[in-house]
Amino acid sequence: MSVDATLADHVIHAIYSAAGAPEKWPDALQLVAESFDGAGAVLVFARSEQPFAVVTSPSLAAAGRAFHEGWLDRDLRGDRTWRLFREGQEVVTDRHVCSPDEIASATFYTDFLVPRGMGWFMATEVSPEPDVLVAVSIQRAKSIGPFTDDELKRFPTFGQHIEQALRLTVQLMRSEVVNLALGDALNRLSCGVVLLDAKGRVCFSNGCAVEMLGSGLVLPEGQLRLTGANTGSFGGMVPERPGGPIVLSGTTPDRPYVAYLLPMPGRNASAAEDIFGTATTMVLVFDTAGTAGADPTVVRDVFGLTLGEARIATQIGLGMGPGAAAQALGISEATARTVLKRIFSKVGVSRQSELTALLARLARLGPELR
């Protein structure tokens, strides 16, 4: 099955509409699921792989309640899926975590999934921050058949948009401002927020962004511009890779900022009625000072790794060997060494010392890496 381009645009629009309005996530997830002939979709927030929050599409609301009331401990797929994410796998489906016999006869499939219109799943990790694990999964009816290799390849593109939108949602949830008007909520966030119109002119900037201006960001003639390696107006531009960061030098070499650009769907309001009415792009700016080494989510985005690979790379960047990195991440040393070889190939280095030096540069200066 191929996703129609118009449908894909409609789904992506819904995803970004949910960024600043968490109550819209269930309907956005439903559209994502339908793009892959799914019965519904689930967004799972976890710490140490133990779920602490779950958002389901409307079609799976009853199944979600039944799962937590009687099937959570009999889930064959959850822990196995998180383990594969830790080992660097980007997309997981049934055949990666269950044997054919389990899929055919395990009670989790036969008594829970199939009677509720499910039977197959695919999942990808969409964690916008390293300390909050988030995965999105699509559930599909057993009668339709398993997810194909082509679908597994396409799913991460939707995942990247979900992850990008979640950068704002997680900030709102963490700051406990989801019930405020969006303008008031953005002003209370601990990250910089700047809204741009289609010409790159600033419509709004919160207090944190104002404090940051002059370091990696300037506002000449009312347009947001980057200093350092990236010069020129954003102009409403969205990176080719959803979620890709722009790494900025701060006032000192060891104080980098990381900026992410989110498209803003139309809010159906004039500028007179809504200060966001003319905004087409939101810029989120994070201060990475005080973090130990490079942020795994930034490492992932800059070098095109999976988050699992980026976590291993970051541990190596802190001076750990493969054994210590494996122990810290809860994987085997053999797996860590296998993933490390894959990281070397993707990043373009041949030894640990080169990777460590590269990540040290990212943590300090960043812009020359873009």
CATH topology of domain 5-172: Beta-Lactamase (3.30.450)
307-336: average pLDDT: 89
Instruction: Tell me the DSSP string of 6-56.
Output: HHHHHHHHHHHHTTT-GGGHHHHHHHHHHTTT-SEEEEEEEETTEEEEEEE
pLDDT tens for 188-205 read: 888 888 888 888 888 888
Which residue has 């309640």 as its token pair? 65
The residues near 56 (Cβ < 8 Å, ≥ 6 apart) are 26, 29, 40, 41, 42, 43, 63, 64
CB 195 within 8 A of CB 264: yes
Per-residue 3-state assignment (H helix, E strand, C coil) for 48-104? CCEEEEEEECHHHHHHHHHHHHHHHHHCCCHHHHHHHHHCCCCEEEHHHHCCHHHHH
Structural domain spans, the chain: 5-172, 195-287, 296-369
Q: What is the pTM of this model?
A: 0.82
- Structure-model confidence comparison of residues 114 and 235, the more confident one: 114
Nearest-angstrom CA–CA distance, 30 and 321: 43
Nearest-angstrom CA–CA distance, 43 and 47: 14
- Percentage of residues in the chain having pLDDT higher than 90: 38
CB 251 within 8 A of CB 361: no
pLDDT tens for 323-359 read: 999 998 888 999 999 999 999 998 888 889 888 888 8
Q: What is the dihedral of CA 107, 156, 10, 276, to 10 degrees?
A: 120
The residues near 233 (Cβ < 8 Å, ≥ 6 apart) are 199, 200, 223, 224, 225
pLDDT tens for 211-257 read: 877 666 666 666 666 654 443 344 333 333 455 677 765 545 556 67
Is CATH 1.10.10.10 the right assignment for the domain spanning 296-369? yes
pLDDT tens for 40-86 read: 999 998 876 666 778 999 999 999 999 988 898 899 999 999 999 98
pLDDT tens for 247-302 read: 765 545 556 678 888 888 765 444 444 556 788 888 888 876 655 567 788 888 77
* pLDDT at residue 196 in the model: 86
Domain 5-172 and domain 296-369, same fold? Reply is no
CB 1 within 8 A of CB 151: yes
Give the Cβ contact number of residue 202 at 10 Å.
18
The residues near 127 (Cβ < 8 Å, ≥ 6 apart) are 133, 134, 135, 163, 297, 307
